[in-house]
Amino acid sequence: MTAQKNLVVTMQAVNKWFGKHHVLRDVSLGLASGERIVLCGPSGSGKSTLIRCINGLEGFQEGTLTVCGTTLNGTQERLAEVRRHTGMVFQNFNLFPHLSIMDNLTLGAIYARGEPEDAATERAKALLERVQLTSQTWKYPGQLSGGQRQRVAIARALMLEPEVMLFDEPTSALDPEMVHEVLDVMEELAQSGQSMIVVTHEMGFARRVSDLVVFMDQGEIVEAAPPDTFFSAPATDRARGFLGQIS
């Protein structure tokens, strides 16, 4: 992390407990503008908690977190500001089942941002074309495949023009044959310069797309290295063990 970089996310010595359970231990991390970080590690290591802190879905007890110039101290203050800068895509899509795909995309823009419906509709059309779902515009989520729903979820997050996109295992609930249509969309997004943090076990994606692989275990960042280094020469037994298990 160098001082010259324009950092969109900075975490400094963040500590978080659920009751007595220490789930984030002195986590420090910087995401520069346009940078892609892949976050990996065993189940329960704190990956979801970390990215949920970044968009204010979780608070924390110690440390500081700055997202696009807004500093959070773990309390409820200024959460709305942070959420405006971040887009989040979850494992389970979280689309509104009773709304058409178009309305899923435009609802937030119209009601949260006060954008005129025409303008929101135009932007939604362009995004649905970008994720290759124009033909599904007037369908409902239940009529789409898992891969299509996840591409809708990505397009919906992009409607709010987030400076940072956060993905929490976006392909782990998908049938194997649909994984790659979602990864392709994410890869295109990365190539367009979108800053992003992706929790994933798709190590091929990590190699192709990430600038930095961050490996967590038991609430701490154990290693952070460019993918070439991380995959060819992991520095710790914990990372070697993890890579041995998932490959």
Tell how strand 86-89 and strand 164-168 pair up.
parallel
Q: Candidates 48, 121, 194, 195: give the one binding ligand ADP (CB under 6 A).
A: 48
**CB-based contact 25:220 (threshold 8 Å):** yes
Residue 171 near ligand ADP by CB under 6 A: no
**Of the candidates 40, 1, 36, 85, the residue with the CA atom closest to the CA atom of residue 191:** 36
Nearer to ligand ADP by C-beta: 41 or 141?
A: 41
Query: Among residue numbers 3 through 32, which ones bind ligand ADP (CB under 6 A)?
Result: 18, 21, 23
Residue 106 near ligand ADP by CB under 6 A: no
**CB-based contact 41:200 (threshold 8 Å):** no
Residue 46 near ligand ADP by CB under 6 A: yes
Residue 49 near ligand ADP by CB under 6 A: yes
> For Mg ion, which stretch binds (CB under 5 A), given 46-54, 66-74, 154-162, 172-180?
46-54
Nearer to Mg ion by C-beta: 48 or 55?
A: 48
Q: Candidates 1, 5, 44, 143: give the one binding ligand ADP (CB under 6 A).
A: 44
Residue 48 near Mg ion by CB under 5 A: yes
**CB-based contact 152:133 (threshold 8 Å):** yes
Q: Which does 44 bind (CB under 5 to 8 A by kind): ligand ADP, Mg ion, none?
A: ligand ADP
List residues binding ligand ADP (CB under 6 A). 18, 21, 23, 41, 43-49
Tell me which residues touch Mg ion (CB under 5 A): 48
